[in-house]
Amino acid sequence: MLWDGKSLWMDAMNKTFQTLALTACLLVAAVAWGSSAMAQATTTTTPTAPANTATTKDLSMGSDLAGGLPSQADATVGATYLATSFEKWQQRCVKTADGADPCQLFQMLFDNTGNSVAEISMFDLPPGGQAAAGATVMAPLETLLTANLKIQIDTNKAKVYPFAYCTKNGCVARIGFTADEVAALKKGGTATVTIVPAVAPDKPVDLVLPLKGFKAGFAAVVTANAAVKH
């Protein structure tokens, strides 16, 4: 406890007619003792940590990411979310305010060392046109654009597609598939997507595109997009 000067002064006054010398000695001693006590308190007292006033409503528990995307429940309007997966294919949709969410079928393409190189997104098109389905393929910026993009479904004849434009993320080819080609994709086993690196034009890179799950995935996309159109 620190020295209380007022208490000591009243105590001294109650001691009748003490000599001034004795009073002075007591005060000097009291001051010295108080200074010592204050110094000790300063060096030995540990500050008390403030109480934790956080409640559960103040805390974020996070949300799961599926394939790097939020779930439908966690997605905000305008955000892309993962609806479901079909083997290597993902049904990705954009959340809308009315719940009629447009969807595409997505797959990442890897090289033979396991590095992600390109990606493909497929979607249905209105019946009656030359193309029954559309797709966008994004390749790396280092791709030799004049060599174009080649796709072969199983052992069928390969077709070549030009690149349409490039962004800061990569170069895009916009592709149309005929009804026969969509049928081949549905019953196929593997497609091969070939791109050519600009730094090695004599060494084309073949990327494997597994087709298992495509039939069910594309049907789910068609069903989801039918709700959007109506």
Tens-place pLDDT, residues 92-117: 999 999 989 999 999 999 998 899 99
Q: Is residue 56 part of a domain?
A: no
Predicted pLDDT of residue 230: 63
Query: Are residues 71 and 36 part of one domain?
Result: no
Number of domains in the chain: 2
- Asked if residue 98 and residue 14 are part of one domain, the reply reads no
Instruction: Confirm whether 78 is domain-assigned.
Output: yes
For the record, the structure tokens of 60 come out as 């974020």
Residues 179 and 82 in one domain: yes
**pLDDT value of position 130:** 95
What is the identity of the amino acid at 163?
F
* H, E, C per residue of the chain: CCCCHHHHHHHHHHCCCCCHHHHHHHHHHHHHHHHHHHHHHHHHCCCCCCCCCCCHHHCCCCCCEECCEECCCCCCCCCEEEEEEECCEEEEEECCCCCCCCEEEEEEEECCCCCEEEEEEEEECCCCCCCCEEEEEEECCCECHHHCEEEEECCCCCEEECCCEECCCCEEEEEEECHHHHHHHHHCCEEEEEECECCCCCCCEEEEEECCCHHHHHHHHHHHHHHHHC
**Residue 41 pLDDT more than 60?**
no
CB atoms within 10 A of CB 110: 15
Residues 90 and 106: beta-carbon distance below 8 Å:
yes
Residues 186 and 139 in one domain: yes
Whether the pLDDT of residue 27 is over 80: the answer is: no
Rounded Cα distance, 129 and 137, in Å: 21
Is the Cβ–Cβ distance between 196 and 144 less than 8 Å?
A: yes
Residues 12 and 101 in one domain: no
Q: Is residue 58 part of a domain?
A: no
Q: What is the CATH number of the domain that holds 210?
A: 2.60.40.1880
Residue from 184, 170, 186, 169 nearest 105 by CA: 186
| Banded pLDDT at 58 (limits 50, 70, 90) | low
Q: The domain containing residue 9 runs over which residues?
A: 5-44
Contacts of 88 (CB under 8 A, 6+ apart): 107, 210, 212, 213
Rounded-to-integer distance, Cα 185 and Cα 64, Å:
32
Q: How many other C-beta atoms can be found within 10 angstroms of the C-beta atom of residue 74? A: 15
Q: Give the pTM.
A: 0.70
Note the pLDDT of residue 68.
Answer: 78
Q: Band of the pLDDT at 3, cuts 50, 70, 90?
A: very low
The amino acid sitting at 171 is C
User: How much of the chain, in percent, has pLDDT values that exceed 90?
Assistant: 63
Count CB atoms within 10 A of the CB of residue 87.
13
Q: Is the pLDDT of residue 166 over 50?
A: yes
Q: Does 213 lie in the same domain as 121?
A: yes
Dist. CA 217–CA 33, nearest whole Å: 85
Whether 190 and 90 map to the same domain: the answer is yes
- On whether residue 49 sits in a domain, the answer given is no
d(CA 149, CA 202): 15
Q: Please tell me whether residues 106 and 144 are part of one structural domain.
A: yes
The answer to whether residues 148 and 208 belong to one domain is yes
- Asked whether residue 181 is assigned to any structural domain, the reply reads yes
**Residues 193, 79: one domain?**
yes
**Residues 200, 153 share a domain:** yes
At residue 138 the predicted structure's pLDDT band, cuts being 50, 70 and 90, is: very high
Residues 109 and 30 in one domain: no
50, part of any domain = no
